[in-house]
Amino acid sequence: MKLIIDQAQREAKRRAHTATHLLHASLSHYFPNTKQAGSLVDSDLLRFDFYAESLLTPAQIEEIETTINQEIYEALPVTTIETTFDEAKSLWAKAFFEEKYGDKVRLVRIFRWEEVVSAELCGGTHVSNTKEIWAFSILSQEAVASGIKRITAITWPKVIEKIHEQNTILEKQVEIFQIKSIAQIEEKTIKFFKDYQDLSAKVEKLSQKLLKQQLLSGKEKHNADFTYILSLESGSDFKLLWTIAKEVLEIKTALFFTNEGNYLILANGEISAKELAKKYDLKGGGSDTMVQGRDEKVLQIL
């Protein structure tokens, strides 16, 4: 049997593995007592789980990316030696998972002149110099369990793929906003959201005005259980309706519904809205003063 190594895949995993060591070392500056809780090393992709009580801030993520890329550009040597466990500990090596180590251990170290940037007990494959990683970028961070956070990151060439994808998105925004360059996107986006907020405020005021007119239109009906029954247009804002109805109507019970079967029952406490919904077998949820749901049977109530 002949064993053939996929050299391209091996190099890709070397890059990701050594980058994991750099990431762990960098994280220790923000979480001095952190330990590895698990990891995955794949082709130019790494996932690192570690103990921490809080997520990193965006500024800290940027600092970590800058630090690691600087260590890559500095072309720091990566060395491996076999030594005893006690000797490795004296060299400030990190050991994980409470593993039982034999008489000999493999120590992977990354140097900056006389300074040790990283020192870990590790049996995996690594690059011989950080320059071989080429580039590093964090894709995401998340909390995966109580006290455990996860960072997913990439190395060359996936970093280049990420840059291309982001540039494609930015170029699409240039086209959508009808501007001349990517540099104008921030200014245009800020203006867009300001205009959107102004428009949303105007729409809300108009919606309030229209709902008040509907509530006071005199087109309501009633029956033995509801002193106020009103059919509303599709898409009516029931949350806004609830606020306005309590403000402008003096009623004991009210039923609002649309042709799709969306409904809202209001009650003043003397009569239970939940009991009224139950009486008419309407699906929904709420309290004794308000029940909301969707049930076409509401269209039969008059």
Q: What is the pLDDT along the chain (302 residues), one digit of tens a residue?
A: 777 777 889 999 999 999 999 999 999 999 988 889 999 999 999 999 999 999 999 999 999 999 999 999 999 999 998 888 877 776 665 655 445 666 788 889 999 988 889 988 888 899 999 999 999 999 999 999 999 999 999 999 999 999 999 999 989 988 888 888 888 888 888 998 999 999 989 988 888 888 788 777 778 888 888 988 888 888 777 778 877 887 777 778 889 888 898 999 988 877 899 998 998 989 988 888 889 889 998 888 87
> CB within 8 A of 101, min separation 6: which ones?
85, 95, 121
Q: Which CATH number fits domain 7-166: 3.30.230.10, 3.10.20.30, 3.30.980.10, 3.20.20.70?
A: 3.30.980.10
pTM score over 0.75: no
Query: CATH 3.30.980.10 residue ranges in the chain?
Result: 7-166
- Based on the number of CB atoms within 10 Å of its own CB, is 177 exposed (0-12), middle (13-18) or buried (19 or more)? middle
Side-chain half-sphere exposure of 255, counting CA atoms within 13 A: 25
Q: 135, 143, 156: which is closest to 11 by C-alpha?
A: 156
**Per-residue pLDDT at 94:** 62
Query: CATH 3.10.310.30 residue ranges in the chain?
Result: 218-300
The DSSP output letter for 296 is: G
CA dist 47 and 153 (Å) reads: 6
299 with 257: CB under 8 angstroms? yes
CATH code reported for the domain at 218-300:
3.10.310.30
**Per-residue pLDDT at 147:** 93
**Per-residue pLDDT at 93:** 59
